[in-house]
Amino acid sequence: MSSNILITGAAGYVGGSIIADFLSSSSPVLKRSRITAAVRSDEQAKLLSESGINVLQLDLTDEKAVVESLVKHNINIVIHTASSLDPTLALNLLAGLAEQQKASGSKAYFIHTSGLSAFCPKTGWPQGVMKDSGPIFETEKQFADSFSLRKTDVTITETAKALGITSFIVVPSTVYGKGKGQWNQLSVIFPIAVQASIKQKSVSKFPEDRNIAGVHISDLTELYGLIVKKILQGSGDTIPNGTHGHYFAIAHEMAWWETLGRLAAAMEARGLVASSETQVWTSDEAAAEATGVPEVFVEIFFNSSANIIVDNAFKLGWKPTWDKARFFENIDDEVVSVLELGKAKSSLIDSLFLAAKN
């Protein structure tokens, strides 16, 4: 099965890296597919077009434009990485896939990108360990109203089912590593921590230590690739999907205090902080001011943990190549990336401020 695949957020860290991986893939089914990047601005469109990428400049908030574009370009697979907070964008894309499905008679698939904070006790997720092959959707629905990411996930899953579209939700954990995209190659968590530490001349942590889950960007894009290849091979409706279709990109866990200690040592060696000893934030307000993250989200953003056992991804054949030891050995790469690239070109923090306001 050859397909027309649209990747939203294509100028972003995750979306751009997915496109780069897909275009360089040796997979016969991916090679037969047409991959299109959806971007917002003229500047993004120009840069990606000059790199030989098929580009669609599209305002995802405009339902009419989205529907017309998906039908015109015969899009039957969407990988949505543009926003996990705003359901409107995903709903417009689903409307477009539904129209394309009607027009072509071919099956449509939607892969949404959520966030691990939706599954953390700090945001109202219940305590206790749960497999991703267990009642994840039912639990999300039960606690949907207490956190926007969960509400978005539930809305997407139910809408896709009603429209006859097969859906999947990929849940990245704390992503690290330099991306491969043309526009933004910086992740979010570690670059912000590095930038705040440079500004303060010290690395700071929250009073309570937690285990956080992590994944390298290359392992994350591999998971998206596995799902898409299953779809292209005709197995998209036989692998877990819909209300059973959560795929958690958790390669390993790491203690946040130990991780920040390693980061502090790497930064001290470069003369960027005064000491390899970490400090404790005096308040959430101080952490928010230093990092530029809204106070209501700052501890969730940097200090969330989720007790999820990965099952679905491993059953697909996902084999992460980065573990905690490899990450710690290469943690200086996070510092180097910030020194080389500066501030991430990401709209995520703007989205958090908007969510905080609402």
Q: What is the CA radius of gyration of the chain?
A: 20
- Predicted pLDDT of residue 219: 98
pTM, entire model: 0.94
350 CB neighbour count, 10 Å cutoff: 9
CB-side neighbour CA atoms (13 Å) of 33: 29
Amino acid letter, residue 85: L
For residue 351, the model assigns a pLDDT of 60
Amino acid at 341: L
Longest Cα separation, the chain: 63
| Other CB atoms within 10 A of residue 209 CB | 15
- Tell me, what's the pLDDT at 354? 58
Q: What's the confidence (pLDDT) of residue 347?
A: 62
pLDDT in tens, 228-276: 999 999 999 999 999 999 999 999 999 999 999 999 999 999 999 999 9
Across the range 111-140, mean pLDDT stands at 94
pLDDT band at 296 (very low <50, low <70, confident <90, very high): confident
User: HSE of 351 in the Cβ direction (CA atoms, 13 Å)?
Assistant: 14
The Cα 358–Cα 356 span in angstroms is: 5
User: E strands of the chain, at which residues?
Assistant: 4-7, 34-39, 54-57, 77-80, 109-113, 130-131, 166-172, 174-176, 204-205, 211-216, 246-249, 252-255, 279-280, 308-309
Question: Per-residue pLDDT tens for 337-347?
Answer: 999 998 766 56
Domains of the chain: 4-175+215-249 (3.40.50.720), 186-212+253-305+323-357 (no CATH)
What one-letter code names the amino acid at 92?
N
Encode pLDDT of 99-109 as tens digits.
Answer: 999 999 999 99
Q: How confident is the model at residue 1 (pLDDT cuts 50, 70, 90)?
A: low
The answer on pLDDT for 167 being more than 70 is yes
* pLDDT at residue 48, rounded to an integer: 87
First-to-last CA distance in the chain? 43
pLDDT tens string 21-50: 999 999 999 999 999 999 988 988 888 888
Q: 94 Cβ partners below 8 Å, 6+ apart?
A: 110, 156, 159, 160, 163, 165
